[in-house]
Amino acid sequence: MKTLAIIGGGQHGVVVAEIAEATGYTVKGFLDDTIPAGTEISGYKVLGKTELCRNLEQGTEFVIAVGNNATRKAIAENYSDLHWATLIHPSAVVSRRSTIGEGTVICANAVVNTLTKVGRHCIINTLAAVEHGCEIGDYCHIAPGTIVNAYKIVAELSAEKRYV
């Protein structure tokens, strides 16, 4: 059985937890630096701060459920030794000729078409479509309902700009 710990306990974290369960993971809970350990969020527990990730048993996979691109990048770089899960919702359509980077989350009813490259630790959100031949850089967030067609997208890692 695959187990997953989610870094980030906000609303996006709950969405990611549901995607994880739909793809066969058992969710251990959230790691979050701002929510007290033991807090329950939609039936999932906050295990403690992010730094506790290295104390979880071997074999646990991780995913970052934080919307801010710069924060997602900082966490990924700080904990580069973790085993990052890539989650694809069962209702998403992802071409077998596309490439999806580690730590990326593809949400419900999203489409990633052929010859597309999606980087590491990206969010392709609900109902987003990334058309053929696109290149989505590391840490990008493609917002719900966005359609990207034949572009190269690189994340602007500022606190103000969170998604395309």
Catalytic residues, by residue number, are 132
- b/e code 64-98 from CB counts within 10 Å (16+ = b): bbbbbbbbbbebbeebeebebbbbbbeebebeeeb
Yes or no: say if 107 and 15 are a contact pair by the CB < 8 Å rule: yes
- Residue 32, both tokens: 């979050």
What is the spatial order of strands in the sheet that 152-153 belongs to?
99-100, 117-118, 135-136, 152-153
How far is C-alpha 35 from the geometric centre of its chain's CA atoms?
A: 19
